Amino acid sequence: MSEPGASAIPADRRSVSAWGTFLGGQAAIGGNLFVALGLVIQASRGGAGFAFALSGLVFLLVGLAYVEMVTALPVAGGAQYFVLRGLGDFWGFIAGAALILDLTIGIALFATMTASYANTFAPVLLGIEASTLAVHLPVVGRFEWFWFAESLAAASSLVVANCRGLKEKARLNAAVGIATLVGLSVLVVAGFLFAWNAIAFVDTLHSDWRGLRGFGYGLSLSIISFVGLQTLALTAAECRRPAAVMPRPSIALILTTVLFALALPHLALGAATPSVFGHGEAPLAVLAALVPSFGPALSSLISGLACAVLLASANSFLASVSRLAYSMGQYDSLGPWARQTHPRFHTPIKALAVFGALIAGELSLAFFWPGATPLEVLANMYAFGAMLAYSLAMIAVIRLRSVEPHLPRPYRVPISVSLALRGGRTPVPLLAIAALMGSLMLLGFVVATHEIGRIAGPGWILVCTGYYLMYRRSNGLPLFGSIRRDWPGEQVRLLRAADESDQADLYSRARALGAREGHP
């Protein structure tokens, strides 16, 4: 059995400024903004703006709770670790399994969208439209083999590079983050100045809806713009003094993401009819092309930017899922293979190989699924994993306020009410409760409206649960219970490793005082 808590303390940390944290997060999460627009407009039509607004509100609430956790528990396991601490081993594993599904599907989706944006250059580079490179297969129907090959090559190259020790470069991520901010800002400003029509917007808003089911489906798909909070945990785990560095840039990143996600659908609905966005391929390139005069040039710039941002986001997700697996291996959830590293490259080679095979399988499932586009199939599964992980994380945030009251929380979710719990007064975060309700609502919409997601998502969780129970039983570990761990001792070591000695001292004194007063 591994030493409990070993994975909570990273081997090395680096100095990261608040600005660098914000830009690095923009490079990691920004890829989602290039994905969801066309899919949501196709599903909800005139209701797309409302769908993004509602899911954006839930994301904002969830994001604030995440900031509380990543500053209190700056470990790469992220939500899986929060749930492990708050709810125990079994639910920590379920959260980890949901995140593995979420992150690997995200990588597959980003690779697919990278190829989609790259294919906007196909008429110039290949002399033909990439969409014409397809064949008809029995049962499957239309199979776009060229798009599939591109997507598989993009994902495979990232996995191989990470196996050989590719690391996220702070300066490169910062450059991608700046380019994302500038590119999206230019698109939004130019679009509203030159392409947006108020009359067309109001007409679409009033007359072009797909009904409640279409709105619910679009609402669940709009979540795609807001997935990626797990990458904040990776940043917190790798920077010094995360309590001081992380809160402000993380909140700024969350707000920026919400603002762009609100602006883009409103711009799109006033610039063209929803049918212009087709099946969701390269939506921001399509939107940029609608700008008069310099639309084609802007579209090419946005397509090139999208390729860079999506690959950077996919690489961040791959780093997050490999660190997540390492953490789960250390806490006896996945087995020793998840934490085994290559003797030369010092990378989790077996975990990356497993996830590479999983991503390839997800891409194959998406492209060979009959009656749906690859983007629709991936988006269906993407939303399920995200909302299940978010829901469990919110329960953990609420419960940790009671079971670990002395845990240093440099940032706390605003608006709490004090309740008598566990022999003392506990500040219960109302916004985290609202985030939990919102996450469960969106998870309900995913299950109700995603025919693929409600089969593949729960199926994945059941298969993973079977593996977990067999592993725990074979090693003589409690199946649904938890291994006894020294969480207070781990917390002190974790804070000192993060150069937060003052927080560690405050935590130790608070626990000693609570013990003398008879509180937990």
Q: Is the pLDDT at 10 greater than 80, yes or no? A: no
Report CA-CA distances (Å) from 208 to 20, 409, 417. 42, 47, 43
Instruction: Count Cβ neighbours within 10 Å for each residue of 114-143 and write b for 16 or more, e otherwise.
Output: bbbbbbbebeeeeeeebeebeeeeeeeeeb
Mean pLDDT lowest among 291-300, 377-386, 413-422, 475-484: 413-422
Q: What is the pLDDT of residue 91?
A: 96
**Mean pLDDT value of segment 372-401:** 89
Name the DSSP class of 226.
G
How do residues 323-339 score in pLDDT, each as one tens digit? 899 889 889 888 888 88
How do residues 250-291 score in pLDDT, each as one tens digit? 999 999 999 999 999 999 999 988 888 877 788 999 999 999
* Whole-number percent of the chain with pLDDT over 90: 45
Residues near 35 by beta carbon (within 8 Å), at least 6 away in sequence = 109, 110, 113, 224, 225, 283, 310, 375, 379
Q: Token pair of 297, please?
A: 């040039």
**3-state helix, strand and coil shares in percent for the chain, rounded to the nearest 5:** 75, 5, 20
HEC string of 153-188 equals HHHHHHHHHHHCCCCCCHHHHHHHHHHHHHHHHHHH
Q: What is the pLDDT of residue 5?
A: 44
Handedness of CA 403, 409, 413, 416 (dihedral sign): positive
Average pLDDT of every residue of the chain: 87
Report CA-CA distances (Å) from 95 to 125, 272, 385, 389. 44, 40, 9, 5
- Identify the residue with better confidence: 19 or 364: 364
Taking residue 194's Cβ as centre, other Cβ atoms within 10 Å add up to 14
Q: Is the pLDDT at 420 greater than 80, yes or no? A: no
- Angle of helix 374-403 relative to helix 453-474, nearest 10 degrees? 50
pLDDT band at 422 (very low <50, low <70, confident <90, very high): low
As a whole number of angstroms, the distance between CA 115 and CA 121 comes to 10
**Mean pLDDT value of segment 455-461:** 90
As a whole number of angstroms, the distance between CA 389 and CA 96 comes to 8
Q: Is the pLDDT at 424 greater than 80, yes or no? A: no
As a whole number of angstroms, the distance between CA 443 and CA 421 comes to 29
pLDDT band at 520 (very low <50, low <70, confident <90, very high): low
Residue with tokens 């604030």: 64
Name the DSSP class of 136.
E
Q: What is the pLDDT of residue 104?
A: 94
The CATH T-level fold of domain 6-514 is Amino acid/polyamine transporter I (1.20.1740)
Bridge-partner residues for 429, per DSSP?
416
424-429 and 416-421 strand pairing: antiparallel
Q: What is the pLDDT of residue 181?
A: 92
As a whole number of angstroms, the distance between CA 360 and CA 338 comes to 19
Residue with tokens 């929803």: 274
How do residues 142-185 score in pLDDT, each as one tens digit? 889 999 999 999 999 999 988 887 655 667 778 888 999 999 99
As a whole number of angstroms, the distance between CA 497 and CA 320 comes to 20
Q: Is the pLDDT at 6 greater than 60, yes or no? A: no
Q: Is the pLDDT at 517 greater than 80, yes or no? A: no
Spell out the domain ranges in the chain: 6-514
